[in-house]
Every structure is written in structure tokens, then in C-alpha cells.
């Protein structure tokens, strides 16, 4: 039984969901949402804060400032509350209301950006606001998750080795691309190992991370309007782009199986299944996908039938009870 004194000291590392019975494809989902922040971002937040404290950049009287689509903001709020830091989280209007309420409940400030920048969209607008806060108050400290190497180092030290421990014969790893911290930490780790593991990045359609055209994205988490400074594509073997309608469909399919996951997880699952269907149809392969978050904070969006219909029409194929057909054995994404 773990006994902790700070919330960042606990994270479930060895929980996986076998999706073969649900989808018919050999894919194991590493669940990263079972901690006090509810997502994989607790690792990056802990790593970046501890590094800033060691360097002296962050200390008593400092105000943390960060741009986030949601999950990192919650993670930083959790640690800021535990350590006594003031934290200002800069989000945008796409961030789930539940996420904003969690951040505020933990004692942090939320600044919401309502208009995207002409170039770079909401992310560029959020970053511009962060820079304004830094100029206004010298006590502000920006961890800059998009360029901070302690973001990816967290996953090099923990996430990837834990996957290797559970799956020593791993052949393919699917990782969602947001700031690319999780992606680059895992990719760098496995490229340093003697046995090859194929790293497949999963991104959202409309994201510019891998050079695609910018487009509307309404589900927070994966994808960017500005290419992350952390990204090094030489470590990536392949990329899958997932339309948001497929993300929603995957989330509802998983929910009909009793697993309520978040939008980022739905994107990764959809992309992973599509890649397996294209490259290894009917083959038994050792594959893992990282599930960054759980679904409670998406109840007003991804799991709200009226919201889904307003945004995506009837193409997703859900009714008031979720998917119109049960996903038993069928590839829905």
C-alpha cells in the first residue's frame, strides 16, 4: 500500500487495457490517468518544476505561468497547491469547462484566450499572453512545456522504461503528439535500446506539428498551431493523422465497452488501430498505445450528444446512448 505526503508522488505505471476483445486488434493501452492530476502530464509537470527549483529559477515568492490546453494546467495546479506556489494557467476557449473549474478549485488562476492569432491560432495567442505576463511581473516563471527538455526527460526516465519492463518484445509504440514531450521521451529512449521499436506518432488533422495544413481543432490535447521546439522527427518512424470525428467515435466505442477515456486517448486509439489495419492486418504483433487521460472532463463535449452533432453532424454515428451499434469485434475508427 503506497503512503504519500504529496500528490505528485503517486502514479499508476503498470495498468494496461487489452483492446483485442473490443476491436480484434492486438493493442495494449497504457493508462496514464490514474493519479491526482488525472493525466500523463503529472510526470512532465513534476520534472519541470523540480528542475526549475534545482536551478534556482523557481523559489519562494515565484509565480508559475504556463500555457496549456488543459491537462498540464491541472497537473501544475496540483503541484503548485502542494508546494505553495501561485500559478496562472493560460488556456483558450476550447479548454473543457470542467478542466478550468478543476484548476480554479486547486487555487490557481485561469486566463482564457478567446481569439486565435492570425498565424499560429490559439496556441500562438496563448503564448503571446504568457510573454505579456512575464514582462509585467518579474516574479513570473515560465516553464515553457513546448521547449523544456525536462518535459521529455520525464518520459525517458519513467514512461518508456516501464513499457519496456512490461513488454520486453515490444514492436510498435503509438504516442500522441501535443507538446511532443511524451513522444520524444519515449522515442529517444527506445532508439537508445539495442532492439528496434517502431515509434508511430498520432496527431490530429488540422495540426501543423508534422507540416500539415492548419485547420479547425475543437478537442483540446493533441495537435498544435505552432510546431513544438521539442520535436525531432529523426526519432519518429511514422505519423498518423486522425480526424476529430474519428476521435469522438473511438471515445464512444471505448465507453460502450465500459472504459471512459479522454479525447487524446480516443485519438491515439483511432490512429493506432488504423495503422495496424493498414500495416499488419490479421497479424499478431506486440503493440502498445499510451492513453494520456480519462474522460470525465469531456462530458460536456466529446460525450455530449448535442455538442457532437452540432460540430460533426451525424457522421460520427452516435445517438443519445453513444454509438448506434455496439463495437463488439468491429473496427469503428
Q: For the chain, list the domains and their CATH numbers.
A: 7-35+149-323 (3.40.50.1100), 41-142 (3.40.50.1100)
Give the other-Cβ count within 10 Å of 86's Cβ: 15
The pLDDT tens digits of the residues spanning 276-294 come to 999 999 889 999 999 999 9
Look at residue 207 in the predicted model and tell me its pLDDT.
Answer: 94
Q: Which residues pair with 204 in a beta bridge?
A: 242
Look at residue 257 in the predicted model and tell me its pLDDT.
Answer: 95
Task: Check whether 81 has a pLDDT greater than 70.
Answer: yes
**Sheet holding 238-242: strands in order across?**
16-18, 27-31, 287-291, 172-176, 198-204, 238-242
Strand 198-204 to 109-113 pairing: unpaired
Please state whether the predicted TM-score (pTM) of the whole model is above 0.75: yes
Task: Check whether 64 has a pLDDT greater than 60.
Answer: yes
Look at residue 325 in the predicted model and tell me its pLDDT.
Answer: 43
How high is the mean pLDDT of the chain? 91
Task: Check whether 170 has a pLDDT greater than 60.
Answer: yes
Give the other-Cβ count within 10 Å of 276's Cβ: 24
Higher-pLDDT residue of 214 and 41 is 41
Give the other-Cβ count within 10 Å of 304's Cβ: 12
Task: Give residue 332's pLDDT band: very low, low, confident or very high (50, 70, 90).
Answer: very low
Strand 27-31 to 16-18 pairing: antiparallel
Stretch 220-234: mean pLDDT? 90
Task: Give residue 318's pLDDT band: very low, low, confident or very high (50, 70, 90).
Answer: low
- Report H helices in 118-180: 121-136, 149-154, 160-166
Amino acid at each position: 500500500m503506497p503512503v504519500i505526503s504529496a500528490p505528485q508522488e503517486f502514479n499508476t505505471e503498470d495498468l494496461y487495457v487489452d483492446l483485442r476483445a473490443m476491436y480484434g486488434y492486438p493493442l495494449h493501452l497504457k493508462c496514464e490517468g490514474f493519479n491526482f492530476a488525472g493525466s500523463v502530464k503529472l510526470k512532465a509537470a513534476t520534472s519541470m518544476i523540480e528542475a526549475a527549483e534545482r536551478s534556482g529559477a523557481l523559489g519562494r515568492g515565484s509565480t508559475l505561468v504556463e500555457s496549456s490546453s488543459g491537462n498540464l494546467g491541472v497537473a501544475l495546479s496540483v503541484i503548485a497547491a502542494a508546494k505553495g506556489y501561485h500559478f496562472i494557467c493560460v488556456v483558450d476557449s476550447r479548454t473543457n469547462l470542467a478542466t478550468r473549474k478543476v484548476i480554479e478549485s486547486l487555487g490557481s488562476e485561469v486566463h482564457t484566450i478567446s481569439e486565435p492569432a492570425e498565424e499560429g491560432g490559439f496556441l500562438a495567442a496563448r503564448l503571446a499572453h504568457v510573454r505579456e505576463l512575464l514582462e509585467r511581473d518579474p516574479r513570473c516563471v515560465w516553464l515553457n512545456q513546448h521547449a523544456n527538455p525536462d518535459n521529455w526527460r520525464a518520459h525517458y526516465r519513467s514512461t518508456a522504461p516501464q513499457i519496456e519492463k512490461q513488454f520486453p518484445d515490444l514492436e510498435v509504440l503509438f504516442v500522441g503528439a501535443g507538446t511532443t514531450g511524451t513522444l520524444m521521451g519515449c522515442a529517444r529512449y527506445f532508439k537508445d535500446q539495442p532492439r528496434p521499436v517502431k515509434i508511430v506518432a498520432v496527431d490530429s488533422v488540422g495540426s501543423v506539428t508534422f507540416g500539415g495544413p492548419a485547420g479547425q481543432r475543437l478537442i483540446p490535447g493533441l495537435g498544435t498551431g505552432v510546431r513544438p521546439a521539442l520535436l525531432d522527427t529523426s526519432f519518429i518512424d511514422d505519423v498518423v493523422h486522425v480526424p476529430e470525428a474519428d476521435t469522438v467515435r473511438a471515445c464512444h466505442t471505448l465507453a460502450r465497452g465500459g472504459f471512459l477515456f479522454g479525447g487524446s486517448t480516443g485519438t491515439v486509439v483511432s490512429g493506432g488501430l488504423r495503422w495496424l489495419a493498414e500495416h499488419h492486418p490479421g497479424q499478431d504483433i506486440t503493440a502498445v498505445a499510451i492513453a494520456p487521460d480519462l474522460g470525465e472532463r469531456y462530458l460536456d463535449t466529446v460525450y455530449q450528444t448535442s455538442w457532437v452533432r452540432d460540430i460533426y453532424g451525424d457522421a460520427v454515428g452516435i445517438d443519445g446512448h453513444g454509438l448506434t451499434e455496439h463495437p463488439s469485434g468491429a473496427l469503428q475508427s
